[in-house]
A and B are shown apart, each in its own frame.
Chain A
């Protein structure tokens, strides 16, 4: 990677966040973390990351709502959504909300890393 890219992890599970941070920092990502749904939108706007990893189930506001508001504000940052529910209707909801990728838990670290690299390359 020629320049350091920033990823914002919006996830309320600290151990998942720590593992992803470790893996991505090993790949030279700059990792910023955020765990509260209510303030996540402001964090995305303030930090202006290259890509966002957004959990669906967050305290105070769902990832779907955050993403809808983000897209309503014309923010086109690539978003990878993480969720524990993998039914087609959940995927459809994520895509309708404006997600670029959708990943079901439990995932492999490698899959997240590959997905982010793909999103950055697009």
Chain B
């Protein structure tokens, strides 16, 4: 039975929804009730004048009776029928059967379609949280701490409960242990709760020290006016850390490193100097040129990595286009993230190995540039500039340790045709066949190779 052959069902449904009796409707259009009954049970085809009259009597468009709203319903049902849940139940329905369900039981069809969508959304959440559980060192360590503390409380309390003639000295010791463990458990549980709240609501307090620091930087728009210039007052970094009201000393330590570097960069290359040089560099002889941080570094006689970091921190509205920055250490771990719209930087887990910054790690001191574009809808091409530079100088007994810095410029002139396709991170990348994929994606629908 195809969609059109369900016209009778739709007539019946519409008549009943209007509270019309079959005989009354039949009479109003000049046919017998028994004939209408055959039509309503899809045993007589209906078209032309009679269909038009029925539509008018039922106050609907003819197409509402012939095509109905089932097309979208059927499409949604097809998704449900092709789902893993349907396969698990051994349910196999062809298009004709789905059309019949959509036509005869539209409300149930809606419910099935909505539940299918809900299941898909929930599966995605479960996958994402599983991903976080599997890859988040903070969560893993916190859970381990909670379980260990619970074990300790259980062991001590069972001794108190089961040993009737416990020596007072031992009793006191186990009571003290339980007290200390319960306090530790409360702190761990609170920290975990805060962390998980943060997973559900990005504006909530975040858990790990790095995430706390990320949050502070985001709240401040990655800009610290107090640190600009070479005459920032002493103690300003400490004041900013105090203002941040961080929960852990580890986060305060991380933020101090970030702010101290910011302050050093600002002293080396004041923002006004950078902006003046940038504007002059981009508009030589009134010709708009592309951003070239190497050329800019030469003009300013500054290290390239300093120029990249300062470019990324130009206050909003003063930059020619938005710019993001990522820095990774020698292990490839991201230690600084300033995101830019259109280029996702994962908070947890490793990013895509195709990012130019990882090539830079293999070619220390060699500036690299590329046009990159992340896979996914509405992702613009962007210009990336990367360099790896030593953070610990080598000597005869010790190799140099490098970090890589990558500026991501959302320059609208970046040509998509030249863009290298990259992902955000494997777990949330939709490219199925990728030479550098290290783990499966949580995304159900993947596209083939780059």
Contacts and interface: CB of A to CB of B under 8 A. Distances in A.
Interface of A: 13, 15-16, 18-20, 22-23, 57, 84-85, 105-110
Contact of B148 (A18, A19, A84, A110): A84
A18 B153 CA distance: 11
B128 to A, nearest CB: 19
B2 interface: no
11 contacts: A13-B148, A13-B152, A15-B155, A15-B181, A18-B174, A84-B143, A106-B150, A106-B151, A106-B154, A108-B154, A109-B158
B177 A18 contact: yes
B278 to A, nearest CB: 50
Nearest to B156: A19
Contact of A105 (B147, B158, B173, B174): B147
Interface of B: 143-144, 147-148, 150-152, 154-156, 158-159, 170, 173-174, 177, 180-181
Contact of B180 (A15, A19, A107, A109): A15
Nearest to A84: B147
A63 B100 CA distance: 61
Contacts of A110: 158
Contacts of B152: 13, 15-16, 19
Contact of B159 (A13, A19, A105, A106): A19
A20 B150 CA distance: 14
A106 to B, nearest CB: 4
Contact of B173 (A18, A57, A109): A18
A16 B155 contact: yes
B155 A109 contact: yes
Given A15-B152, A106-B154, A110-B158, 7 more contacts: A15-B177, A16-B152, A18-B173, A18-B177, A19-B156, A22-B170, A108-B158
A100 B152 CA distance: 23
Given A16-B152, A106-B154, A84 B144 contact: yes
Contacts of B180: 15
A57 B144 contact: yes
Nearest to A107: B151
Contacts of B148: 13, 16, 84, 105
A104 to B, nearest CB: 9
A20 B144 contact: no
Given A15-B181, A84-B143, A84-B147, A23 B159 contact: yes
A22 B173 CA distance: 11
Nearest to A55: B148
